[in-house]
Amino acid sequence: MNDYYAELGVSRDASAEEIKRAYRKAARKLHPDVNPGPEAEEQFKKVSQAYDVLSDVDKRRQYDMGADPYADAAAGFGPGFSFSASDLFDAFFGGAGAARGTRGPRPRMMRGQDALVPLDIDLSQAVFGGNADLVIDTAVGCPTCHGDGCAPGTTPRTCDVCKGAGEIQQVQRSFLGQVMTTRPCLTCQGFGTVIPDPCRECSGDGRIRHRRTLTIKVPAGVDTGTRIQLTGEGEVGHGNGPAGDLYVEIAVRSHPMFQRRGDDLHATLEVPMTAAALGAAIPLETLDGAREVDVRVGAQSGDTVTLRGLGVTHLRQNTRGDLTVHLLVQTPTRLTPEQEALLRQLAELRGEEKPNGKVASPAEAGLFGKLRDAFKVR
């Protein structure tokens, strides 16, 4: 009588998992593709036969009672020997066949897919956050059949081909003996049941398309490209399965005055020539309301003034960036005779007027001497 426990190297009280684990180990070592040669092939047949007996509850019980199903096979494959190709696949890939869901009927109810939708917001919403309405078109559970896909008053019927198993098996002969292959049933697509009278509203899918409006909270500090995850707001799965997640991708609209650089804002402020020369406090309408920009005496175009804490909120923090104001000194292009006379007088007082009454050259003149050329009436 063959000692199948010894062939696999397990004890007589070994569990089904221990037997499968021992077979995997031996098969990886002895398979002809890995270890060619007649001796290894013969040993591989022995451990495969041992696994065929010990992995089957009825055969193992008969063997433990003293009846060897293959006593006449002389340690070869007996006439009734067969094993599933998925068991051999498991031996090399650690149970990947089972992980693929190839055994047993698969459920009609499955998790839905995640969805990605864009959302355009204003810069002020990105700075301060707030609520936004979002119109989305996703799959929801069918209200008529409640997800089972059947017309009202009907139920799914067990598949006549696979008898509810969701898969069919075929036996083929090979050098290993009889190899059993398993594939999903084509009649029921692996579900084990068929729907004889599908729901007319969802055509048996268990879900329909529906447009709805969501009000979402936009965190302060988001920027273009930021994604907000809404758990369970995505597509409902087949058979009214759990919904996936909804990802909202933010796009911040451009602002006519402010430009964002990181968490700082930048703006350009036009300053009159006299204010730049004498200094002034010029009002500026910011996202936080009106603020005064202190222009120093003798300010030049390109100078900057920083207003602390008036920038963008740092994402997930309570602090904010700054607002940088870039000054642009305005130069008048036309002057009245009175304005020109006053500027000439100022230039003379500053020593920027030549004895012949002409304004000094740029190399000779100071600030107001240079401005005189620009202010000349055309």
- Per the annotation, binding residues are 142, 145, 159, 162, 185, 188, 199, 202
Closest CA to 206 of 153, 157, 158, 143: 143
Judged by phi (left if over 0) then psi (alpha if -120 to 50, else beta), residue 40 lies in: alpha
Q: Which helix (H) or strand (E) holds 305?
A: strand 304-307
CA distances from 14 to 55, 60, 94, 365 (A): 11, 11, 19, 104
Q: Are 2 and 75 in contact (CB under 8 A)?
A: yes
In a 13 Å sphere around the CA of 143, the CA atoms on its Cβ side amount to 2
- Per the annotation, binding residues for Zn(2+) are 142, 145, 159, 162, 185, 188, 199, 202
Closest CA to 313 of 218, 227, 216, 248: 218
Length of the chain: 378
